[in-house]
Chain A
Amino acid sequence: MTEGLNITNLHDVVVLFAGDSGDGMQLAGNIFSTVSATAGNSISTFPNYPADIRAPQGSLTGVSGFQVHIGAEQVYTPGDLCDVLVAMNAAALKTQYCHAKPNATIIIDTDSFQAADLKKAAFATDDYLGEMGIDPDRVISCRLTQMVKDALADSGMDQKAMMKCRNMFALGLVCWLFDRDLNTVFNFLREKFSKKPAIAKANIKVVQAGYDYGHNTHSAAANVHRIESKHKVPGRYMDITGNKATAYGLIAAAEKAGLKLYLGSYPITPATDILHELSKHKSLGVVTVQCEDEIAGCASAVGASFAGALAVTSTSGPGICLKSEAMNLAVIMELPIVVIDVQRGGPATGLPTKSEQTDLLQVLFGRNGESPMPVIAATSPTDCFDAAYDACKIALENMTPVVLMTDAYIANGSGAFRLPELSKYPAIKPPYVPEELKGTWTPYQRNENGVRYWAVPGREGFEHILGGLEKDSQTGVISTNPENHNLMTKLRQQKVDNISVPDVEVLGDKDDAELLIVGFGGTFGHLHAAMDEMREQGKKVALAHFKYINPLPKNTGEVLKKYDKVVVAEQNMGQFAAYLRMKIDAFVPYQFNEVKGQPFIVKELVEAFTKIIQ
């Protein structure tokens, strides 16, 4: 089928699907990334939703985007700028062109660049390409809407239903551009619309029409590109978002621990998908309670934990503010809960759909009293699975609340996820009180790791009362004794400090780096890509990326002090740097701080880091 075509092999490519929030750009992007992953490419995606509830159609604020980065080798980010921009309407071109490379191919639907559309998108003239300074040779202009109508002319569908298929034409065209196997697309659509075969048929028809259009008119603009996968890790894969991976990690941990999974939650962007995902899986016995507020979400998790479940609450930064009180209750009662914070832009309501790392100090220190709590920060969409599993294991085995931090970027982004084998994951063994302690046991009696035993209600002979008031370390009754409070505070701190976490790994030029890049959580991909680019330029650079925040890995001090120059790069005003300075004596790093609500831009990182070593 590619006879006579000029096929170029590419290392990697970034495609940005942009349109009105009702145009189905997320679906088109999602299918394209899945099809590419199926072909063995590495993928990284970034959905970018408008914050408006429902912006007027065709308006600048209503533009929704889905960016896909596919690569022959590992890709770590969705890419700074795109190679192909699909602009379904004038507003999409206006707002998204700034994310396109200078030589990018632009695909536009001229049917939605009519006078009214141009006006909504604030174009002054009908020469929209000229206004944006776009070279017409790089543009595939087509009457996309009309061609969709033609393709579906005898389908019996009404106008509105036909318009919902426009995204599939764009998808077909992009599939042609990158030589993708349409059968995989068709299978996906048949599966997705298995209950609506007519819709599946129409979508398939339009995808084919888009593909054929590209094939028949290829001389007009672009070449066909092919991205051959170089390093394939054999295995079975699925596409997974960070939020879904988090939910899966919780399910896996509950099964491994032999416990019921309980989620108490209140809807909040961008964490709600975890509630959605877990609510689906009742056949696994998962219990989800959509509570009356954030407070009840966490408080009910504490109650469920007391009753013996693997108890979880999910939220974003504003919800953490409200949950702090019940998180603290879990600290003093020494009950296991997992608190998931999918960070978004703040303060207050802030930027609900955008990403930041600004909750770090809140989850570490934002509670009254001495309130130590383990904190784990997932580093990528697929890492959310392992991070969630770890959070559950640490909580259950150490009888402590644990915070799992992700962020809007990795929560909504996706990656190819190699199906995990649960049998290869470590066992989870909560410290249930041994039967032989019946008669002598008291609620704050500890095992060899300083962890309080768990006596789950229903067991005879272990009846006890926990509570938010300080208790005597020996008897478990309320105590205001100064020495006892001092002791209990230290015991709670030691318990968290003693949790063993893996050493932080140094990537890149670990022996002779001029600069060590330090980050945590969801910025791993961008920092890694920045390091790669600098090393390609011949610079000696290393990366130490932290997933375990509290306690820090044992080798943290050693790693940070090994290099002359260290830069801590984070999407906040320097919270992780401040934390490291507090924990590591005489550590004075350079800092790179940005809070734009968007992922880092690799190019900017490289520029900033290069300045440090010049």
Chain B
Amino acid sequence: MTHTAQEYKKGQPRWCPGCGDHFFLASLHKAMAEIGIDPHNNAVISGIGCSSRLPHYMATYGMNTIHGRAAAIATGCKVANPDLEVWQVSGDGDGLAIGGNHFIHANRRNININIILLNNRIYGLTKGQYSPTSPRGFVSKSSPYGTVEDPFRPAELCFGARGHFFARAVATDAAGTVDILKAAQQHKGTAVCEILQNCVIFNNGTHDSVYSKEGRAKNAIYLEHGKPMIFGENNEFGIMQEGFGLKVVKIGENGITTDDLLVHDAHCEDNTLQLKLAMMEGPDFPIALGVIRDVEAPTYDESVYQQIEDIKTKKPYHSFAELLETNDIWTIE
């Protein structure tokens, strides 16, 4: 059955003009239409925050729940009905501050849900406090003299929790966003998609280096499984391994050819190099976009039902009445 983006749309978004959420929402509608799962078989579950308003603009099933708990609620939803395609939508505060525990445990369990992490490095709904992804020294209403703490880097947290899928896109890059959403849906297990997005009011310009197409050409690299790592306005740069780290090289200089470059392996079980790629940042390195890690592993929900099927064949009782009979019973005449 084919669908159009229109079939997944509902209502009139209330975000600020220019907010990254608008861009992402359009990409999600488009990705869902291309994926083709009927609206009634999708559940979009968010927590609280600006971006967590998103389910209200979906013509699917969904919930806009409570702050931080979206991953736990999505987990229950998926385990109870594995036939549903479950999308969790959270901001950086919802997903990584108050919801940090649920985020890491969803990744550890590898429940088959798609976690969208809309990262604008700020609390927008409460009007401008620093978030767990704000850089050290960040000045905000709650840190007028700059923060004195280091941020989480979502990929590091995901990998540290044994995550098997991590992808990144910039909200303004519709094609890149749709690509990773489709890959996330295809991936069996917890799939984390970090969306870099701007908050025009409280953190304007936070992702400026990659927000425009030109910026991404210069400052980002699109990783594709099986392809050499090439980037730059004229595809003149590449990434090579150097010792325990990575380095940016200019193709053609010092005799370096594309054959010398790292070839992306998203399916590699060992996440060491994938983590290094995910952690790259300017000005010395490009920001990695696309699917950085995509490794198959048993999913929690499938394993739960597999176990149920296995035990059903081993245990002799399959109804409440039969369960009662498994006890020591005596009869009083």
Contacts and interface: CB of A to CB of B under 8 A. Distances in A.
Nearest to B53: A478
Interface residues of A, number: 71
A225 interface: no
Nearest to A337: B76
A282 B308 contact: yes
B101 interface: yes
Contacts of B74: 303
B319 A419 contact: no
Contacts of A38: 330
Contact of B321 (A37, A422, A461): A422
A238 B63 contact: no
A303 B328 contact: no
Given A303-B80, A304-B77, A457-B81, A463 B39 contact: yes
B248 interface: no
Nearest to B77: A303
Contacts of B307: 282
B311 interface: yes
Interface string A227-249: 00100111111111000000010
B79 A284 contact: no
Contacts of B327: 238-240
Interface stretch (A69-77, A149-157, A286-294): A286-294
Contacts of B148: none
A293 B44 CA distance: 23
A514 interface: no
Contacts of A309: 80-81
B76 A237 contact: no
A333 interface: yes
Given A295-B69, A461-B40, A248 B323 contact: yes
B79 A262 contact: yes
B72 interface: yes
Q: Which of B55, B58, B62, B79 has the most CB of A within 10 A?
A: B79
Nearest to B319: A255
B59 interface: yes
B76 A283 contact: no
A191 B320 contact: no
Given A238-B329, A465-B63, A459 B40 contact: yes
A38 B329 CA distance: 8
A354 interface: no
Given A463-B60, A465-B58, A188 B73 contact: no
Contact of A307 (B11, B77, B315, B321): B77
Contact of B102 (A233, A238, A292): A292
Nearest to A31: B328
Interface string A291-324: 1110110011111111111010000000000000
A191 B318 CA distance: 21
B79 A300 contact: yes
Given A234-B333, A235-B332, A457-B43, A468 B66 contact: yes
B320 A465 contact: no
Contact of B324 (A34, A238, A302, A461): A238
Contact of A299 (B58, B72, B83, B333): B72
Contacts of B72: 291-292, 295-296, 299-300, 303
Contacts of B333: 232, 234
Nearest to B39: A463
Interface in B275-333: 304, 307-308, 311-312, 314-321, 323-324, 327-333
A561 to B, nearest CB: 41
19 contacts: A229-B332, A238-B327, A238-B328, A239-B328, A251-B323, A260-B80, A282-B308, A292-B105, A296-B101, A296-B105, A306-B63, A306-B77, A420-B324, A422-B321, A457-B84, A458-B41, A465-B44, A465-B62, A465-B64
